[in-house]
A and B are shown apart, each in its own frame.
Chain A
Amino acid sequence: MRVVVDYDLCESNAICMGIVPEVFEVRDDDFLYVLNETPPDELRAKVEEAMNRCPKQAISLAEE
């Protein structure tokens, strides 16, 4: 799976970071950084939860 973030929608609410910090990090510059665009499958459930919990629906998953 590939994590895709729409940065026009992202407002750095950081909910994603709270759920799966291995993949999402909001840094001190207040920007979201995707630490790993192709996280391992054992993180799938958490990444999907982050996707559902994003208040801006800014995260999507591409299957490759």
Chain B
Amino acid sequence: MIGSVVIVGASIAGMHAAHTLRTEGYDGDITVVDADANTPYDRPPLSKQVLAGTWDAERITLPAAKADLGLRYLLGRRAMGLDMADRFVRLDGGEHIGYDGLVIATGAAARWLPGAPMLEGVHVLRNLDDCLGLRAELDDRPSRVVVVGAGFIGAEVAATCRGLGLEVTMIEGADVPLERALGSDVGGVMAEIHREEGVDLRLGVGVVGLDGSHRVEAVRLDDGSVIEAEVVVVGIGVTPNTGWLEGSGLEIDNGVVVDDTLCAAPGVVVAGDIARWPSTRYGELLRVEHWETAIQMGEAAARRLLADHHGREPATFDPVPWFWSDQYDRKIQLAGRSSADDDLEVVIGSLDERRFVALYGRAGRVAGVLGMNRPRHVMQLRPLVEERVAWAEGLATARGLA
């Protein structure tokens, strides 16, 4: 019998787990722990509306945090260790929080520039405090913002800064933005869009140093360039927050490895950016950093805990990953997966029009559907990924929609 559930991580995966526990009829204790002291909130607007200042922080409070779910919150408290034998989580300060069921949803942390000095004006963007600190500096109208990394976070920050009328230089090590994720054809379109929007885009270069004694003054690149800047935003990826789980007995390998029901150990489930699960659809372990997937995982993790409680067969977790990014007036959506190694075929519209749908193929099947300003078609073609349709058939179906 489950009488107490502890959820470590109060972002969307953890909060959806809490909500699902209640809607599925669990009325025992639920304790939610998070090192972030803010009322649980939604992350995607942190690189868009909240950063731009068009939305206040209150607007992104998660619905589950506003609902009356009878949760005990321990916010601003950090989980330091896990003892699965005696079933407790150890917090900073030494306190032990016992559990019958545990949801691990501690997500991931933004990477800083390796070896760079800690100067004022250098930011990562992961949580609300990061966002508000950066927003305050943007309000001072810096003469130039340097964004390191042209991935999704970097690109959205650059777009938001351009929307504010700020000068932006964006630095990317690959030949085009998002090359590894989307391939060089689509990446090439992204590069053009950034440049047309007035971003000074530097490709194929890396940062070798930051100048400044107290506050950043310039960024040095490996091609010898020196870019003067008062604000630097580092968007070079995240690492899963698994440090607190070292020595716990869980399998830690680029996240916490779980089975196909999101279970890592008896009474322990994992959800969100930290989870690495075996996908039957893709035949390998996946860890994704997608909003919708985190929600689906939070819900599935809660049901997994209750499956034992209710004596039900646990369900397999293998949804089609779903991702979107809003940059300037473009909406990019991806159903499934994509990589530079996949076959790529534009099936509706064209890259030049900046309005298209492309299919990604791997091992003879449709692996992903990518759309730019084509939401209807992406949604209609998602079943190609769900059903692992053969490549030729997928192309024919997609072209038939055009």
A residues with CB within 8 A of B? 11-15, 17-18, 25-28, 30, 52-53, 55, 57
- Fill in one digit per residue for B287-316: 1 if any A CB lies within 8 Å of its CB, else 0: 000011001000000000000000000000
Q: Which of B63, B295, B331, B382 contacts A13 (CB 8 A)?
A: B331
Interface residue B333 (Cβ < 8 Å from any Cβ of A): yes
Sorting the interface of chain B by its residue count into under 10, 10 to 19, 20 to 34 or 35 or more gives: 10 to 19
* Contact indicator B44/A55 (Cβ below 8 Å): yes
Can you show 11 pairs from A to B with CB atoms below 8 A apart? Answer: A12-B331, A12-B376, A13-B333, A14-B379, A15-B379, A17-B379, A26-B376, A26-B379, A53-B292, A55-B44, A55-B292
Which residues of A lie under 8 Å from residue B333 when comparing CB positions? Answer: 13-14
Question: Given A52-B63, A55-B44, do A14 and B375 touch, yes or no (CB 8 Å)?
Answer: yes
Which residues of A lie under 8 Å from residue B376 when comparing CB positions? Answer: 12, 14, 17, 25-28, 30
Which residues of A lie under 8 Å from residue B295 when comparing CB positions? Answer: 52-53
Residue of A nearest to B376 (CB): A26
Name the distance in Å between B382's Cβ and chain A's nearest Cβ: 6
Which residues of B lie under 8 Å from residue A53 when comparing CB positions? Answer: 292, 295
Which residues 318-339 of B sit at the A interface, judged by CB distance below 8 A? 322, 324, 326, 331, 333
Which residues of B lie under 8 Å from residue A15 when comparing CB positions? Answer: 292, 322, 379
* Contact indicator A30/B378 (Cβ below 8 Å): no
* Contact indicator A30/B373 (Cβ below 8 Å): yes
Question: With A18-B379, A25-B376 given, can you name 12 additional A-B contacts, CB distance below 8 Å?
Answer: A12-B376, A13-B324, A13-B331, A13-B333, A14-B333, A14-B375, A14-B378, A15-B292, A30-B375, A55-B44, A55-B291, A57-B63
CA distance A52 to B63 in the complex (A): 9
Residue of A nearest to B44 (CB): A55
Residue of A nearest to B374 (CB): A30
Which residues of B lie under 8 Å from residue A28 when comparing CB positions? Answer: 376
Which residues of B lie under 8 Å from residue A30 when comparing CB positions? Answer: 373, 375-376
Which residues of B lie under 8 Å from residue A17 when comparing CB positions? Answer: 376, 379
CA distance A37 to B198 in the complex (A): 42
* Contact indicator A18/B382 (Cβ below 8 Å): yes
- Fill in one digit per residue for B27-49: 1 if any A CB lies within 8 Å of its CB, else 0: 00000000000000000100000
CA distance A15 to B326 in the complex (A): 15
* Contact indicator A11/B326 (Cβ below 8 Å): yes
CA distance A25 to B44 in the complex (A): 24
- Fill in one digit per residue for B147-184: 1 if any A CB lies within 8 Å of its CB, else 0: 00000000000000000000000000000000000000
Residue of B nearest to A48 (CB): B23
Name the distance in Å between B292's Cβ and chain A's nearest Cβ: 7
CA distance A63 to B369 in the complex (A): 37
Which residues of A lie under 8 Å from residue B378 when comparing CB positions? Answer: 14
Which residues of B lie under 8 Å from residue A26 when comparing CB positions? Answer: 375-376, 379
Question: Given A55-B44, A57-B63, do A13 and B375 touch, yes or no (CB 8 Å)?
Answer: yes
Residue of A nearest to B320 (CB): A18
CA distance A55 to B375 in the complex (A): 13
* Contact indicator A12/B63 (Cβ below 8 Å): no
Name the distance in Å between B321's Cβ and chain A's nearest Cβ: 13
CA distance A25 to B377 in the complex (A): 11
CA distance A53 to B299 in the complex (A): 12
Which residues of B lie under 8 Å from residue A11 when comparing CB positions? Answer: 326, 331
Which residues of B lie under 8 Å from residue A57 when comparing CB positions? Answer: 63
CA distance A52 to B376 in the complex (A): 19
Which residues of A lie under 8 Å from residue B324 when comparing CB positions? Answer: 13, 55
CA distance A35 to B392 in the complex (A): 33
Name the distance in Å between B335's Cβ and chain A's nearest Cβ: 9
Which residues of A lie under 8 Å from residue B44 when comparing CB positions? Answer: 55
Name the distance in Å between B334's Cβ and chain A's nearest Cβ: 12
Name the distance in Å between B42's Cβ and chain A's nearest Cβ: 8
CA distance A35 to B277 in the complex (A): 37
